[in-house]
Amino acid sequence: VTAFLQTLAGALHRTGFADRVERRRRRARSAYAPFCRQVGGVPAPDRPRGNDGDLLVGLLHDGVPVRGALDPRLAKALVGADFADDGLAPGRWELTAFRGLVAVRDRAAGPGAGQVYIGEDSLRFAEAILDAAPHGLVLDVGAGSGLTGCALARSSERVLCVDVLDECLAATTVSAALNGLTERVDVVSGRFQDLDLDRPGRFNCIAANLPYVPVPAGLAYSPAGNGGPDGLGLIRSLLKRAVELLDPHDGALVMRLASLGDERGPLLLLDDLRGFAAATGYDVVVVADGRVPYELRAALTAKLAGRHNPDRDPVELLDVASAHLRGYGLPLHLACGLVARSGGTGRVDVVNLAAPLLLDRPVAPSRPVADVLAARDRIAAGYWRASRDLPDGFWELGTEREVLAPLERMQAVVRALADGATVRVSAERVFADMFAADPVRARSLLLTVELLVQQLLDCRLATARPGR
Ligand SMILES: C[S@@+](CC[C@H](N)C(=O)[O-])C[C@H]1O[C@@H](n2cnc3c(N)ncnc32)[C@H](O)[C@@H]1O
């Protein structure tokens, strides 16, 4: 297999695989779309046209069987390394690329994803790691596809990747080989909590994008996402363990996480971060770069829980997830990057880049409805720009339809606002048909309608009053 992977690595390099995927991504609706074919609005991939580069992207990224002549040595390598079956139809692994690194995940046998996770957060996390450029000995907690480990290996001497799923360790090994980083990437199977290491303080960096989905007790969920009832069980354990594992004088902690909170930041986690900072003397900076209302997180959880709970009704799952999150009394689920470095004074800073929540505020048009609608082109232009930066997870729930809908029904939205409705009530009223048809997916409209209303504010065509 090693020789097959080497052959494939050479072919990916020669045919510009990573650049081809990045070009797709630049045209996609999300700058962090892991597989560009999945993003709404991207035209179906061209039928591979026959050169090896097109055929490889078609087979490995899009899952299109190879029709055409492929270099026989390459064909043998694809089959031998489990990227294709004997008829050159898609095999066990599919492949994506980000910032010049490639990473595999297992192709899902049925509906939904396989066991190896690659999401928008994976790409944001890899970017943060490349920016942080850690050195020395690194621990990669929750290796997943190996993208994280390979990003770490770009700047460091050696990376130890740990994961509970053997499929993830297999993926990490394949990704490392395809990136030519095998020499610097080691894998170990198990839970990070049980790691038996010979001496404390040995790591110069710990990187982790651990599961962070708040999952109600009794609901089956993927181990790649399940973070326990408040979503933070594993992250808290790691913050405690990291105190002992990290070099006190020369270290960094780089994490991707999400937490319930409000405009002040990921409130549920702040005490744990302060505990870590006080114990290590590291300075911690948390940047919240995206947020969704908790109702949207609940819808996403219900949708993803569907395939693990086939006997339960989607609307029941939605009710269970919503009631669970409502219980925390916090309006937002914030997506965050975290970087902590040694040599500080043990402080914790939170930077919130996410826009304030408008949903429960009445937003009154400041001009007659007809005048607001006359500015439709200006509003739409701003809306399209902003819709390229929808928060992580949006595209797992919503589609191009939920992005187009607020523009199509702009008149009704503006009228509902003029009647004094909050943004939420306007959305539920104007899109009552879509909420009735698919209550899970329709929750993505809360975000897109809010985004449209934000454009009215930005164009000074409306003013927001304080919420209730
Ligand atoms: C959200 S995925 C992230 C994978 C990868 N680092 C990335 O960013 O794409 C989380 C990974 O953590 C692994 N995991 C979950 N619990 C773990 C534990 N206790 N110890 C080690 N790994 C764990 C899961 O199997 C999964 O692969």
Ligand 1 centroid vs 117 CA: distance in angstroms?
8
Three-state secondary structure of the chain: CHHHHHHHHHHHHHCCHHHHHHHHHHHCCCCCCCCHHHCCCCCCCCCCCCCHHHHHHHHHHHCCCCCCCCCHHHHHHHHHCCCECCCCCECCEEEEEECCEEEEEECCCCCCCCCCCCCHHHHHHHHHHHHHCCCCEEEEECCCCCHHHHHHHHHCCEEEEEECCHHHHHHHHHHHHHCCCHHHEEEEECCHHHCCCCCCCCECEEEECCCCECCCCCCCCCCCCECCCCCCHHHHHHHHHHHHHECCCCCEEEEEEEEEEECCECHHHHHHHHHHHHHHCCEEEEEEEEEEEHHHHHHHHHHHHHHHCCCCCHHHHHHHHHHHHHCCCCCEEEEEEEEEECCCCCCEEEEECCCCCCCCCEEEECCCHHHHHHCHHHHHHHHHHHHHHCCCCHHHHCCHHHHHHHHHCHHHHHHHHHCCCEHHHHHHHHCHHHHHHCHHHHCHHHHHHHHHHHHHHHCCCEEECCCC
What integer pLDDT is reported at residue 112 of this predicted model? 63
What integer pLDDT is reported at residue 324 of this predicted model? 97
Q: Is 288 touching ligand 1 by the criterion CB < 6 Å?
A: no
Q: Is 142 touching ligand 1 by the criterion CB < 6 Å?
A: yes
Going by alpha carbons, the residue nearest to atom 2 of ligand 1 is 224
CA nearest to 34, candidates 115, 126, 169: 126
Determine the atom of ligand 1 nearest the C-alpha atom of 142.
Answer: 12
Ligand 1 centroid vs 251 CA: distance in angstroms?
21
Q: Is 147 touching ligand 1 by the criterion CB < 6 Å?
A: yes
What integer pLDDT is reported at residue 110 of this predicted model? 65
Ligand 1 centroid vs 448 CA: distance in angstroms?
30
Phi-psi region of 447 (alpha: psi -120 to 50; beta: other; left: phi over 0): alpha
Q: Is 98 touching ligand 1 by the criterion CB < 6 Å?
A: no
Which residues of the chain carry a pLDDT beneath 50?
Answer: 38-44, 47
Helices 270-280 and 233-245, axial angle in degrees (round to 10): 0
Determine the atom of ligand 1 nearest the C-alpha atom of 234.
Answer: 19
Q: Is 141 touching ligand 1 by the criterion CB < 6 Å?
A: yes
Phi-psi region of 466 (alpha: psi -120 to 50; beta: other; left: phi over 0): beta
273 contacts 255 by C-beta, under 8 angstroms: no
CA distance 218 to 233: 16
CA distance 389 to 261: 21
The tokens describing 392, both together, are 């992580």
Q: Which of 35, 104, 141 to mutate to test the pocket of ligand 1 (most atoms within 8 A of CB)?
A: 141
- In the chain, how long is the greatest CA-to-CA distance? 72
CA distance 369 to 152: 53
β-pairing, 205-208 vs 137-141, is parallel
CA distance 465 to 457: 11
Q: Is 168 touching ligand 1 by the criterion CB < 6 Å?
A: yes
Going by alpha carbons, the residue nearest to atom 9 of ligand 1 is 122
Ligand 1 centroid vs 123 CA: distance in angstroms?
14
Going by alpha carbons, the residue nearest to atom 19 of ligand 1 is 191
What integer pLDDT is reported at residue 468 of this predicted model? 60
Q: pTM of the predicted model, to two decimals?
A: 0.94
Q: Is 357 touching ligand 1 by the criterion CB < 6 Å?
A: no
CA nearest to 332, candidates 291, 389, 288: 291
Q: Is 162 touching ligand 1 by the criterion CB < 6 Å?
A: yes
CA distance 202 to 222: 31
Rg (the chain; Cα; Å): 23
Going by alpha carbons, the residue nearest to atom 25 of ligand 1 is 224
166 contacts 190 by C-beta, under 8 angstroms: no
What integer pLDDT is reported at residue 45 of this predicted model? 52
CA distance 179 to 185: 11
Q: Is 169 touching ligand 1 by the criterion CB < 6 Å?
A: no
338 contacts 285 by C-beta, under 8 angstroms: yes
Count of CB atoms situated within 10 Å of the CB of 188: 14
CA distance 302 to 347: 37
